[in-house]
A = this chain, B = another copy of it.
Amino acid sequence: MKFSDLVNKLDQKYKHSLINYPNYNPEIIGITPIENTQANTISYIEGVKFAKYLRETQANALILPEDETLQKQALDKGIAWICAPEPRLLFAEVIKVFYTPFKPKPLIHPKAVINPGAKIGQNVYIGPNVVIETGVKIGPNSCIFANVVIYPQVEIGANTTLHANCTIHERTIIGDNCVIHSGAVIGSEGFGFVPTSQGWLKMEQSGRTILEDGVEVGCNSTIDRPALGETRIKRHTKLDNLVHIGHNCQIGENCAFAAQTGLAGGVKVGNGVLLGGQVGVANNAEIGDGAIATAQTGINNKVGAGEIVSSSPSVPHKLYLKASIIYKKLPEMYETLKQIQKQLKEK
């Protein structure tokens, strides 16, 4: 398609940029990454850090940030461009023009094993070897990929996707527009062992796990159910791969947890909380709204709303930045201290 046609497919707010340069209207057949562009494609420069790629790019069009220098460089090289105050959003829109994600058509595959006591909504895809136990409800337009196993009494909303090989345990509730990625396990038994003089006593995990609308759970992540009550993840929270959420955790809305992060039991997390990769949170810790923990942080108590924390055990991020510079000077500090001691004694 012509660059102008591409721009017409986008949100109105992006169209002004084209109008200014009517002679720049190349044929665009796809989108390529800026490190490896091809002719007749559009590419994306996230910021000045990537400006070096502009000089040698094969792309005939670019998504640019609102940076006049970059824009002039592009024009000088004969490259059409379109800009936005948030260029990543524009980039996401352009990808959608060229890319349609794989979604199978509605079908109950004959090799799925569905208990007659399950209720399956309209326009649902259920792949081969899916196993659905009694009492399960699946909402309309949902998509259950091959080899998923759903235990009894699970409820899944509308327009939700369960990728291959994941397992949903008894009584779990998953809302609308959720995505559970391959291999994830939701609603499994919490790690509830009580030490006794006769060894570990297993506490039955009679509770359930609830994922509200718009939640995503990454590949091979695990979310446990509690002995009593519920483990709950609120609307639009996103978990990356290999994340662990313990029994009885209450996670707020719009959070994002990066890969390999783990929460022990009973953790309370507010809304809009960001946890970096490999963060660990101890039993019954509390994290306030909008707090941030950088990668590998260990949280064992409370983090206030809006705080940014790092290190294990967690400290304010600014303190961490200073302390980790001084950590490198510890051997030198130790020597200095010993010299001072010696000097004072000699006096």
Contact = CB atoms under 8 A, between A and B. Distances in A.
Contacts of A242: 220, 222, 242, 244, 262
Contacts of A329: 334
A99 B193 contact: no
A71 interface: no
B204 A191 contact: no
Interface string A247-288: 000000010101110101000000000001110101000000
A151 interface: yes
Given A164-B149, A258-B191, A340-B340, A238 B200 contact: yes
A131 B147 contact: yes
B319 A89 contact: no
Interface string A223-261: 010111100000010101110101000000010101110
A341 interface: yes
Given A194-B92, A204-B99, A262-B260, A328 B315 contact: yes
A203 interface: yes
A249 to B, nearest CB: 12
Contacts of A322: 330-331
A48 interface: no
B181 A185 contact: yes
Contact of A256 (B200, B277, B278): B200
A54 interface: no
B204 A92 contact: yes
A49 B111 CA distance: 53
B330 A341 contact: no
Q: Chain A interface secondary structure, helix, strand, loop or mixed?
A: loop
B259 A206 contact: no
A193 B327 contact: no
Given A259-B246, A331-B323, A344-B340, A218 B191 contact: yes
A86 B89 CA distance: 55
A125 interface: no
Count this chain's copies in the assembly. Answer: 3
A96 B201 CA distance: 12
Interface stretch (A13-21, A30-38, A73-81): A30-38
Contacts of A88: 194, 203
Contact of A296 (B127, B129, B312, B336): B312
B264 A258 contact: yes
Interface in A59-117: 86, 88-89, 91-92, 95-96, 98-99, 101-102, 109, 111, 113
Given A260-B244, A327-B315, A333-B334, A128 B131 contact: yes
A196 interface: yes
A260 B260 contact: yes
A182 B264 CA distance: 19
B191 A92 contact: no
A188 interface: yes
B236 A170 contact: no
11 contacts: A32-B229, A147-B165, A167-B219, A169-B182, A200-B254, A246-B259, A323-B327, A326-B331, A326-B334, A333-B333, A340-B341
